Homo-oligomer: A and B are copies of this chain.
C-alpha cells in the first residue's frame, strides 16, 4: 500500500491534468445543445476504463424527448468489470459523468469548463460533482497497477450520464441486470456527496426521501384583468397562499395533521452521536447569510436537516413570475411543494394526510374553486443504513488512517434515489463516501474541488480498497 500511496502523491499533477481534461467536456445532460458532449464523455470514460484493463459494456437506455421538442439518444450507462477472480469479493462503485449547466454569464469568475486552480481550489463544472470522485477511483486503480500492487478485490463500475437530469432509466438498468448487480456484489460505494463542513471528512449513512406535490387551483377558465374582474372571483393565487400557510409555518413546523406520526423517535444513542459531530452552527448561518436559523443549537439543527421531515414551497406555475408589473388574476395556478421524508414515513400515509388536509382547508375557505392536490412524480423513499457493517468499518478506518481523524457519521437532507435501488437489488451494505467539502457549490456558480480533498480522497479510496481486501 505504501507504494500505491507514494505513486498517488508523486503523480498528483497527472491526476489534476486528467480532471482538467474531463472538465473541458461540457457534458450537461439537461441541455439539448450538449447532449452530444455528454455522450462523448461516456465514451471517453469507457476508454479510460478499458485502458485500465476493465471489460466494459455500454448499455443503451433509449431516447428522450428534450425540452426543445427534439428526441435524442440518452447517454449510455457504463457497466464495467475490473477483475473477476472468484476468490475475491467485489465492490460496486457508482458515479456519474454528466454535469449541471454552467455559463460564465451566470456569475462564474472563470470559464466553468477550464479547470482553474486558485488557493488550492480547483474551479470547474463537474470538478466535485462528480468527475473528481469518479476519476479518483480510476487514478487509484492505475496507481495499484503501476506499482504492481495486487488489487485485493474485484471492482464493478456503474457510471451514468443522466444523474443531473433525474437518472433517467438507470433504475431499469439496475433492476434489469441481475447478472451484474444481484450476483457477485459484496459492497456498494457511492462518492457523490459532501463533507458536512469544510474540512472534516465524513462517511454518510442516511438520506431523506421525497414526495413532490402539486396543488392545482382553478378560479376561472382564463386569466382575468384584475381591474375589470378584481372583486368578482375567489382568486386562485390567494386561495393558494391560504392553503400553503395552512401546511407549514415559516419556522418549518409542518401543520398537516398526522405527518409527524410515523417519524422514528430519536434514541439516546442517536442523540449521543450529534454531540461529537464537527459542525459549527454559526459558520453555517454565516454561509447562508441567514439572519436566524430555525434552531439555535447544533443537535437540533442537524436533526432538522437529517432526521425530521420538511415541507418546502418551491413556487407557482401559471402566476406572474417575470420582472415588472402585470395586473393579472391567473385563472389557474399550480402551487408546488415537496416534503422530505425520513424513516419510517410511508408514501400512502403522507399522501393521504396531505391531500385530505388540503381538501379540508379548501372547504373551510368556501371558494368552490376547483382544487386538486396530487403527487407530481414518483416519490423517493428515505434511506438509513446500519453502520456496523464491514463496509462501513473499512471506510471509517480508511478515512481515519488518511486524515488522522475519525470521520463524522452523517446523514444528508437530500435524496439520491438510486442508493435505495442498489441496496434493494444487491442486498448488501451501501455507503456514501464523500470526497468534496460542503462549500464546493455543486450546483452553483464557481463549483470547485479542493486539491487536498482530491488527493486525500484518492488515498482514502486506495486504503478502503485495501481494507476491503482484508475482509
Contact = CB atoms under 8 A, between A and B. Distances in A.
A390 interface: no
A377 B368 CA distance: 34
Interface residues of A, number: 80
Interface stretch (A14-22, A138-146, A242-250, A391-399): A242-250
Nearest to A285: B232
Contact of A310 (B231, B370, B412): B231
Given A291-B368, A325-B212, A336-B320, A229 B315 contact: no
A11 interface: no
A219 B288 CA distance: 9
A237 interface: yes
Contact of A210 (B320, B326, B327): B327
Contact of A229 (B235, B366, B413): B413
A339 to B, nearest CB: 9
Contacts of A317: 320-323
Contacts of A291: 367-370
Contact of A234 (B241, B242, B292): B292
A220 interface: yes
B315 A227 contact: no
| Most B Cβ at <10 Å: residue of A228, A232, A237 | A232
B413 A228 contact: yes
Contacts of A221: 288-289
Interface stretch (A88-96, A150-158, A260-268, A301-309): A301-309
A186 B150 CA distance: 102
A226 interface: yes
A240 B312 CA distance: 12
Contact of A338 (B327, B330, B369): B327
A70 interface: no
A230 interface: yes
Given A367-B292, A368-B292, A252 B234 contact: yes
Given A242-B245, A325-B377, A412-B227, A235 B210 contact: no
Contacts of A131: none
Contact of A314 (B231, B237, B288, B305): B237
A293 interface: yes
A308 B230 CA distance: 10
A233 B288 contact: yes
Contacts of A227: 208, 210, 340, 412-415
A412 B289 CA distance: 46
Contact of A238 (B219, B220, B249): B249
Given A226-B314, A366-B251, A231 B413 contact: yes
A319 interface: yes
| Most B Cβ at <10 Å: residue of A234, A315, A319, A340 | A315
Which 6 A-B residue pairings sit nearest by Cβ, starting from the closest?
A227-B414, A315-B319, A315-B320, A321-B321, A231-B304, A221-B289
Interface of A: 208, 210, 212, 219-222, 224-235, 237-242, 244-245, 248-252, 284, 288-294, 301, 304-305, 308, 310-317, 319-323, 325-330, 336, 338, 340, 365-370, 376-377, 412-415, 443-444
